[in-house]
Structure 1
Amino acid sequence: MMFLQTLKEKLTAFKREKRGNVAIIFGLAVVPLMIGAGVAVDYARSVTAKNVMQSAADAAALAAAAMTKASEADRIAMAQNVFDANFSTIKGVKSGNLKVTFPAGGVRVTHEATVDTVLMQLAGIQDIPLKTVTEVNLPTIGKAEIALVLDYSGSMGNMLNGEKKYITMRNAAKQLVSDISESAAEDDVKVGLVPFSHHVYTSLPGEYVLGGKKGTSWTGCTYDRRAPHNVNDTSPISTNNNTKWGNTKSQKKFDDYGCDGYVNNSLYVQPLTTNTASIQSQLDDMTPYAWTNIALGMAFGWHMLSPNAPYVQASEYNDGQTLKAIVLLTDGKQTALSWGPNGKQTQKNGEKNLEKICTNIKSVNDDPDKPRFIIITVAFDLDDEDTVNRLRDCATSNDYFYEAENNGQLSSAFDAITKQISKAIAITK
């Protein structure tokens, strides 16, 4: 009996003893705890890898789609090069083959990879599979009409970072024209030039200019039409002088700098053309002159892309095929006089006119969420905050406004603009 009593007491004491349980319980719990933590860590790594891979696949698909003149083999090679350039090596990621196919009317880029796990291996999971798929429409109906509305006032001849500002602008604009035209099918991209300072030098039918003659062609420096025609794209009426453009020879005060300077500096409007070589050549020739009339330049940029007179090269609005884009660049505020609804010519009217022109252009879009007429604005070394804000508001959205304080930023801005226009032509599914 004594033995049984002693055994009972020992068993009861063992039952109550808890000091060893902690180690046992911790030992049993640590494995699932580590697996749980490992899932979070490894999952985060896989999400990062997939985001990078998706961006690289998107860029590859867009690059292949943009090569409308290339063979499928060349498009595949381009897609691979772009993907490799954008998919930086991430430790623990095993990249598979990039697959590029061409379903009807599009490009499809598929890529698979695996991410090695770290702590999830405790649960027997060695890797996490990843897959991205991007489809891009071929720009079979993608056309573009682009008006470069560029400030060539005297301040653009100032030095910035060791180079005259207009030279930096010229080089960036030439690269944009080259990149977009080379990636598009023949005749699908038209580009026009509107160099502006205090006047715009252009050729117009004589009946559309004050003092001009019907049936003749008039060439010279002009200023804006009477309000409200100077903020709209309505066609001029030969019997209504308020709808006609001003002739600088008819009002001496508008000819302070002389129209000959526009000829000598090659500052003439070049309407929309598929001959981008002529655009490049003129960009090489133009040099700054006189002061600034942003509203007048913008008005002519709109007329260039409008189906209404005086120019005849543009397509109809919202034709389902053509992207229209104005790229407006200036380095200063409005200094020239413009007509206003008060019947007076003031600098302030010019500022208000620019705002109205931008608003009216935006109204031609059937679907504001998917605009086919976009306004891209660039403030280049511009220290007037009111004008900067006016340009920001003028742009189709904040994504289409650029503020460049130096030459490098301007080049980067035009690179981004090139991509925006190209992407708008080839719409991602």
Structure 2
Amino acid sequence: MDRHVSILRALGWALKPGLLAASMMAHGGSSPIRIDKPPEDGIGCFGTRVELAGRWLWIVDPCATHADLWSTGIVYQYVRHGSGWVLDRRMISPRAEANGRFGEALSANDAGHVAIGAPGEPRGAAYMVSVESAHIQRVDFPVTSPADAVWGYAVARTRSTMWTAAPTADCSVGVDCGIVASFDGIGPPLSAPQPVSGMTFGYSMASDATRILVGAPGSRTAYLYTAGFIGAQVHTATFTATSPTSVTYAESLALQGDWVAIGAPGDAAASRPGQVWVYQKVGEFWFLRRVISSPDEGRRAGFGRSVALAKDLLWVGATADFDGAGGALYTYRLEPDGVITEAGVTLGGQDTTGWAFGAALAGRGATWIVGIPYARDAGSFDGSGAIVVSTEDFVFYSGMDR
């Protein structure tokens, strides 16, 4: 409980040193492409959040400086061009403030509509933007929200609605219960069916066209809701860790079709391994199919730092536990009968220790993106961040190939 409240309320960033491996090592696929932060934008943590939809790619640097204001944040939009990616635009908060961390939360749907959170701005903030418009629209928090609610820690984008979370909002039964609200204000804000103090409902969120998955790691629980066109929110499932050691359960989430993946990264200092809990829906019921742990020494605690689902694939990001290990991306194949098999691993390389390879992750089709927010160029002392994106089987979604 205290862990998640302290993480949410920490406003500073510490750039971590390291050396980049000369090349990524991909097992079971072609070598990925690396994209570095534009050098003219200085140091930062480019790759803290990543998102992919159609031929568009978004990369966030919430540590970026703008107009001499530290950590105002920048969201970079890239467009697919041939076999690579081209920077299309930089997005900066219309109300940029020091430590505003614009982009700390990010979500996009397949139509190219993007939700952006800026929890460091006064009372937190959330913004809407589209690939078809240059306008960045700030969304006001609900007038009925608790006075202590700070919005923008997590966001989600369904087909018709955007959502933002205030996980440290108090409730009638205690403090830091958490609350989630739709950007359009249709319907009342969401809270846990049985709120408890310290549950941090809304610490993490994932979404598809019509559903949102809300994490409450303070109570080791995640909740699935159906979000319709008219603002209806129906609680349809609850996922709960059955192991008392999974204290980080629901820190990372993924939702796709009949599958849900819930990450519970571990703690190297406490020798607690990270895990990913994978559920499948059969008929009207959800079943736990497998609890996955890292197969490699050196990435046991970092395993599950990020998760992503697309079609029949599950990707798990695993940051390094100690010097010399390096981060990794693990790929698993999901079978209709519920069988989950290992399908490959992409290693960040030993020299990426301290770079947080695998801290962020997104996927569409067979394409994945891994964030390395503390990466730096060889010979450089300061970190600026980078991402790597796979080059195999890129999928253009209908309506997005323009």
- Length-normalised TM-score, structure 1: 0.23
Larger strand share, 1 or 2: 2
Larger helix share, 1 or 2: 1
State the structure with more CA Rg: 1
